[in-house]
Each structure stands twice: as structure tokens, then as C-alpha cells.
Chains A and B, each alone.
Chain A
Amino acid sequence: MAISRRHPAALFAVLFVALGTTGAAYAAVSTGTAPQAAATSSTQVDEGKQLFLEGCSSCHGVAAQGSSDGPSLIGVGAAAVDFQVGSGRMPLAGPAIQAVDKPPVYTEEEIASLAAYVASLGAGPAIPSDEMVDTSNADLVLGGELFRTNCSQCHNVAGRGGALSNGRWAPNLMAADPKEIYEAMITGPQNMPVFSDKTITPEEKKDIIRYIEELQKSENPGGADLGRFGPVTEGVFIFIVGLGILIVISVWIGAKAR
């Protein structure tokens, strides 16, 4: 039962909060003496731990070991946290088929702390640097090929998203920024597969991002794109607008005749 399961966890949480606060306080006091870089990162980890205990441990467990309400985060890496929390998916509001994008709850600094904490628990993909998502020299054409081969079966050729089984979906990519795309590929959230550097090299990842950026521009040589949903919207359009206009004209001509 939920209650009997949650109780010990809550106890642990209280313990960890207490410990965490003490630790953080100690770290704050001792900043003066420790080397700069190490100190920031260890403060960050501690801060992250703190935030984690408050906001995430109820589902992911006090040591991020996982519970019946959320998977273990040991070894998911900083990239996964940055992706999940940065896109507002985490903290999850409650049981759902799939976490939804919403405005992030945490500030960028807090997200960095959370990421540092989770990364400290086990090795996993790191947050890509700016250089890694710099697409100025990327190959657009190859990116398109890779996108159509690896991504379009779920996200649609125009990146407009699509339905997966059992109410899950692959989201529309029109608002995804380069870092988010990169992180999605290396962490494989939910039903999305992980595209390791062996399957798609870092260079190729840049190419894909470049192509998605091109899609996001939504330049339409042919005119309005009707949401790029494909033939269905085109069909609805021809009936409602196309035939609609002509029938109105027909009725009007008929009325004139009388």
C-alpha cells in the first residue's frame, strides 16, 4: 500500500534534508579555504542534492535510486536532467502517460546544480557544450538524410510530431533549441531511442540539428502550409474552403437569376 511504502521514504527524506542542510552550511562556511573550481562544483552538487531532496526524491527516491513512482537516475547523466528539467517535463506534476513540456520550474542555476548532483552519482552523458551544438559548419543535406532515416518515423518529415502507440506521442520539434535536440538524442527520453555517438557521430548530430533549424524556419515556397500535417488537412481544406467558396458563389448566381 502507498502509505506503508511512503513512510520510510519520508523518514529518510527528513534525514537527508537535515544532513544536506548541514552539509550545505558547512560548504558555505568553508568556501574561503577550498580551491575555487572544486569548491563551486561541490557546492553545486550539494545545492543540487538539496533541491533534489525537496523536489524530486518523492518519486526518484532519496538517493535517486528510483521508486515505484519514478526510475532510478543513477547514471542518466547531467544531460538527462538538463533536458527533463529544462523542458519543464520534470518535476512531474503527477502520474501521466507522458511528461509534457511546460515552462521550467527551476532557474538555470538550479538546473545546473540538479544536473551536477545527478552526474555525481554515476557517469552519464554530459550537457553538450556550446561548441558541440554550433551548427554554423554543419552539413544541411546530410542532416536531412539522417533526419528522414532516424527521426521522421516518429517526429514526421517536417518535425511536426506524430502519434505513438497507447496515447504516447513524439512531440513537435518546432520550438526545440539545439541543446535540447542534442540532449534528446544522447539521453533518449521515454520512447525515444538513445542515439549514441556510435550510431550518430557528434558531427552528424550537428547536421541533424542544422536540418531541424531549417525546418523551424518554416519557409514555404508553395504558400501557407496548413500546419504541414499533410494530405488530411489538404482534404479538409478543399471541402470547407474550396467547395465552400464555390457553393456560396453558386447559390449567389442562383439567387441573381431569380
Chain B
Amino acid sequence: MSTVTPTDTTATSGGAASWVDDRLHASGGLSKLLKKVFPDHWSFMLGEVALYSFIILLLSGTYLTLWFKPSMTEVIYNGSYMPLKGIKMSEAYASTLDISFDVRAGLLMRQIHHWAALFFLAAMSVHLMRVFFTGAFRKPREMNWVIGTVLLTLGILEGFAGYSLPDDLLSGTGLRIAQGIMQAIPLVGTYLAMFLFGGEFPGNDFISRLYSVHILLIPGILLALVTVHLIMVFYQKHTQFPGAGRTESNVVGFRLYPIYMAKAGGFFFIVFGVTTLISALVAINPIWLYGPYTPSQVTAGSQPDWYMGWLDGAVRIMPNWETNVLGHTISWNLLVPALVIPGIMFTSMGLYPWIEAWVSGDKREHNLLDRPRNAATRTSLGAMALSFYMMLWFSGDNDIIATAFHLSINQITLALRVLIFVVPPVVFIITKRICLGLQRKDRETLLHGYESGQVLRLPHGEFIEIHKPVSLEEKAVLMGKADIAPLPAPLAIDANGVANPKAKAGAIRTRMSAWFYADNVAAPTALELAEAEEHALHGASHGEISSH
């Protein structure tokens, strides 16, 4: 492991860089790049999983394009899947059946493509949580957080587009709902839906349009954004957790070349391997069971892929409210869950770095991560948002839950309508308690060492537990807690005796800031630490003893 400050260029970077540099005279550029240092922590691999699944999606998707026919032209199926032989269906569905049953490795590729899509979005979501809970979105990385939000949104849309392509019963049911949501947009909805679908649902144009979006438009934007995302990580350098020798202005970890590249390359193959293994062993989206889409058919247990589940759940949990205004129906039952709630969720997610910076008044750059417990309010807010999301997701699975556990679907929906308002605040409070408890424990550990589990009997008969001092490494981790004090109240009258016009907004901000930071358990000061050490050296007096 090597410690390199960002300005360090003395170390040699190995043959490859100089080989290229010698020829391209790109001196500095490439060798600097290869000397970049990356810190190491398992949670930093989540972004990589997302990246590698994206690459797998590009590769497997390209294979699928060789046989997939994005056409609504009616054909009679004549492939080798007996139960559908002779049935009329769209070319899109027929070609997906062909990929599944008559193209060499086609089914495996379809399954790889679909499992990788689930992986991509799962890894991206968990990566996002890592970034949020560690405060990695703070200055100077706010823009990369925004890019991440856009990537997630586009990833969800891309997945939905792909899921809709095969034109099976599930695809069609999903598209039907999407069309309903479009139509619910006031004023323009009906026209928008007509325009996009090229007429009435399902129409003949939509699949081919969706195809261009799925294989060209969104992947193109995703690729561009992923590139920018990575360049920014390189340029701004990776954050790291607090620890021995780690500061705001250095990065401790591995050189990009050769160690990190070897590790990353190896990890790519691991991700590819795990995806392929799952795809070879576990079926996903058996479209042949669903049959071709026909508006007259439905199936119990129609579900979108997991990443759309919360949206479907929002629609299911919403009471059936509609108002009639001047002969136009406003469908609150679709507008609110499918457009308003997601709009609020994604906007507040994108803006979160600025919201927190405003509340804290913290304008510093942060290259050291927060341990989640040390930012108790942020962590609790995140847990609260997550529980809200989970409630929506459960609502989307209400029929599956009802079937699996023999419950009443109506009661589940009713319960969730209450729980969605009750659970998130409770989760907030509990998470905060846990975080503050951990903060207190950390403070204790720093001041008095950790409990060794060894019990000692003193000469006068009292039992005490031996406390051992923390190791240097652990101490560095614990001392990495950066406290932020609540903002002082703004002055109502400034120094010149003039009334401060911003006092009112300032008061809100102060209150927010107090709410955000007031409960924080301050890390011990240098003085307190010194005293504690002194105390330890002079042996036990109040039922504590220290041994080295």
C-alpha cells in the first residue's frame, strides 16, 4: 500500500506508461493517470459492479440486436416452442421466441441481458446509498451526485423500454399502464400519447420507436454520462474513510497501474462470471409462458421489474380519486403516484447536496467520508426515505404478498396506506437513536478504551472490567468525526442598526440547522483526550483500570 499526495510524481509508474509516453509524448498525462491512487473499501466496488453490468448489457444487447425484429407486423409462429406453434403474434414477440429457442446461445444471452439489467440497477441503487450515507456527495462532488441521479433515472427508463420490447403479455400490460399515465397529464396527455404511440393503443409504431430509444438514444446518453462520471472521479480523486495517515488532502490506496487495474480487471471477470452463472442456472422473464400481448388477456401477478415496482406500488396504493373539471377528467389516481411523487423524489434527491450545505452552512471541501453514524440526521433521513420507498415497493407486490402469505389484498393496501405515513418517521427516530448511541459509544471508547471482557477483582473485593486503549488505527478512525455546530441565529438588526431583510429566512435556516446538528455527541477535544490519558496512566480510581 502506498501513500501518495495528489502532487506526488516521483514514483515510477512502470513500463506501459513510459512505452506510450515515449511514443506519444503524452508525458505527464498518461503516467500521471496510471499513478492515480485509489483507496480500497468493499463499498467502493458497488459503482464498479454497476459499470461492469453496463458493459455486459452493451455486449449482450448487441448480440440480441442481431436477431430481434422490432416490428408489430403480424406473423404466424412456426418455431420450435410447441405450445405456441401456429399462433398469430407480432414479429417482435416471434423473434424473441426465436432468440429463446432457435438461436444458438440465444436464451442464455437473453437471460444474461435481463439479469444484468437487474444487476445494473440494483448495484447503481446500492452505490447511491453508499454515496449518500457516507456524505460523498458533498462539495466538491455535487455535480457527480446529480449525474448519478440522472443515470439512475435513465437506467430505470432504459430497463422499462427493454422490458416492453418483446411484446409479450407482461410487456403489453406495462405499456398499457404507461400509456394511461401519459394520458393523465392534464391538457396535453391525450395528444402526447397519440403522438408517441402513433395512434390508438397499442398501434403499430410504438415498438420500433421504443427500440431506437432502447438501443441507441438512452444507451448513448448513459455511455456519455458514465464517462463524465468516471472522469470526474479521476479528476476529483476518490474519497476515503478516515483512518491512520488519511487526510483531506491525500489519498491512501493502490496505484491505478498495475495493482488497481489488475484488481479491477479481475473484478470485471468476477461480475461477468457471476452474471453468467446466474443466467445459466436461473430463468428470468419466461416470455413463452405469457404468450403474445392481446388487450383481452391479463394474468394474475402482473408485475414490472423490481426497479419499477415502487412506481407501480404508488399507483396501487393511491385511492381512486378523479375530478371532473369542465368536462375534462383529472385523474389524481394516476397523476399523483406516477408523476408528482416520482418528481418530488428525484428532484429532492438531485438537490440534496445543496439542501444539506444550506442547512449546515458548510462550504468546505470534503475528501474524507463520514461514517454514517457520525451524520446522524442525514443517515436517519436516508433511512426514512428508504423505508418510504420500501413501502411503495411492498404495495407494488401486494398481490404476491397476499398469495404467498394468504392475506387479504384489500387489507394489505389499507395497512400500507397507513404504514406509509407511520413507518418512515418511526424509522427516522429509531435510526437517529442508534446513530447517537454509537456516537456516544465511540466517544467513550476514545476516552476510556474499549471493554476487554476481562474482569479483575480489586483487593477490597470490588469487581472491575479492564479497559484497553484503542489501537492507533482505530483511534484515527474514531477521531475522523468532524463535528458541525448548529448555525447561530441571524441578527435581526445588523451592525449599522439596519433591520436585516434576511432575518426571517435566516431564522428558518437556524431552526433547520439546530434540528440537524443539535443532538450530535461531540467528539472528545484534545484536552479531554489528554486528561483521559492522564487518568488512565494513574491507574483505576472509579472502577476502571487500564492495562497495556
Contacts and interface: CB of A to CB of B under 8 A. Distances in A.
A100 B61 CA distance: 46
A215 B83 CA distance: 10
Nearest to A226: B282
A224 B410 contact: no
B63 to A, nearest CB: 16
Contacts of A157: 169, 289-291, 299
Contact of A230 (B101, B267, B301): B301
Q: Which residue, of B49, B126, B300, has the highest number of chain A Cβ atoms within 10 A?
A: B300
B274 A254 contact: no
Residue picked from B42, B107, B411, most chain A C-beta under 10 Å: B42
Interface in A225-258: 225-226, 228-239, 241-243, 245-247, 249-251, 253-254, 257
B477 interface: no
B101 A229 contact: no
A250 to B, nearest CB: 4
Contacts of A234: 118, 284-285, 305-306
Interface string B388-411: 000000000111101110111111
B40 A148 contact: no
A238 B115 CA distance: 8
Contacts of A155: 300
Interface residues of B, number: 73
Interface in A166-183: 166-167, 169-170
Given A141-B86, A167-B410, A225-B283, A253 B289 contact: no
B280 interface: yes
A228 B289 contact: yes
Contacts of A226: 282-283
Contacts of B507: none
A160 B208 CA distance: 33
Contacts, number: 193
A211 B115 CA distance: 28
Given A228-B289, A254-B42, A148 B274 contact: no
A216 B203 CA distance: 35
Given A140-B83, A237-B282, A243-B122, A153 B300 contact: yes
Contacts of B236: none
A163 B209 CA distance: 35
Contacts of B290: 157
Nearest to B300: A162
B118 A238 contact: yes
A224 B283 contact: yes
A223 interface: yes
B278 interface: yes
B119 A238 contact: yes
A234 B443 CA distance: 43
Interface string B39-57: 0111101100100000000
Interface string A133-145: 0000000110011
Contacts of A166: 408-410
A156 B84 contact: no
Contacts of B43: 250
B270 interface: yes
A67 interface: no
Given A156-B301, A161-B300, A228-B286, 7 more contacts: A141-B85, A148-B297, A167-B402, A222-B282, A232-B309, A243-B119, A250-B46
9 contacts: A157-B299, A164-B409, A165-B408, A220-B283, A226-B282, A235-B309, A243-B49, A243-B122, A246-B49
